[in-house]
Amino acid sequence: MRLSWSALLASALVCIARPARADDIVPLPDWIAVHGQGTFTLQGTPGFASPYAGTNSLTPHQRKETIDATLFLGVQPWKGGELWVNPEVDQGFGLSNTLGAAGFVSAEAYKVGKKHPYTRLQRLFFRQTIDLGGARETVDGEQNQFAGTRTADRLVVTIGKFGVGDVFDTNKYAHDPRGDFLNWALVDTGSFDYAADAWGYSSGVAVEWYRGPWTVRAGAFHLSTIPNGEVLEKGFGQYQIDAEIEHRHQIVGRGRRGAGDHVPQPGPLRPLRRRAGAGGADRRHAGYGAGAQPQEPDGRRRQHRAGDHRQHRGVRQGRHRQWPDRTL
């Protein structure tokens, strides 16, 4: 009898989700954390006129599904230090092989769809939080975050394999297709062309400095070897540098309808700037079809792009997944 890693991981998630009896609950030590999540997405298109359909067009009369199951395993070796690993099982296809829509309709679909489940290590990172003073905050335990306390002023260093969107351009109202909006252009800012492989993850380092209502973030990340590729660069031969300044503030808004009161609404302002070297970060959404092998550009050049991202009460001006609420 042969068991694949995909089957073992799926079985583990079923065990985690199974209602436990009082006599079989064994509490984990405080320095170990285990979480799990599974998501099934089914989408389809009705019949519609498409007189100019091509190989990269969204086609009518289709139905596609995606399934993913993720384990979030964490170890806290010392105060403020966290080591997390996220193995994941994926299966399925996006509509028209994840082509045919500018703001694609499912951030759970990738351009590497497969008929049979497969396992991939999506995250493996270490995070160190250094308290620098200020009011003490309570932190709830959740996916990729240990329960505990931290100070308002702090320094956070993250290194390893994770997503650029885990740290930058975060939004508690629309940032996780497994819990809120599905569209790519809503999960993350549509114009934010962050460094990533075909699944949306990269390897690198990020530093965050929290001081009162302000946060300054900077990070360096590997690009994929080819656009939408499965393999990331090494040694920062092709890279992206991101920088972000965030200011958390409150704007007086309306209270309950008819109540006449005004309730302050929190919302951060985040100017974001990124720089890509040796090829450019704009390669990722270049529109290559499924299975295509684009050629590396002859003339490599550095590119800069700035953005201004705001959010207030769930309204985004201007897409990543499963990261703790870091601001609001």
pLDDT of residue 144: 95
Measured CA to CA in angstroms, residue 87 lies from 6, 8, 39, 119, 268 at distances of 10, 11, 14, 7, 32
pLDDT of residue 205: 97
- Tell me the per-residue pLDDT of 128-177, one tens digit each, with 9 for 90 and over: 999 999 999 999 999 999 999 999 999 999 999 999 999 998 877 777 88
In the sheet with 303-312, reading across from the earlier edge strand, the strands are 32-45, 62-75, 81-92, 114-139, 148-162, 202-211, 214-222, 239-254, 262-277, 303-312, 315-317
Q: Where are the domains of the chain?
A: 32-317
- Tell me the per-residue pLDDT of 111-124, one tens digit each, with 9 for 90 and over: 788 999 999 999 99
pLDDT of residue 274: 66
Q: What are phi and psi of 85, to 5 degrees?
A: -135, 135
Q: Are 195 and 239 in contact (CB under 8 A)?
A: yes
Q: pLDDT over 70 for what percent of the chain?
A: 70
Predicted TM-score (pTM) of the model is 0.76
Stretches where the chain sits below pLDDT 70 are 1-25, 252-267, 272, 274, 277-328
pLDDT of residue 27: 83
pLDDT of residue 305: 59
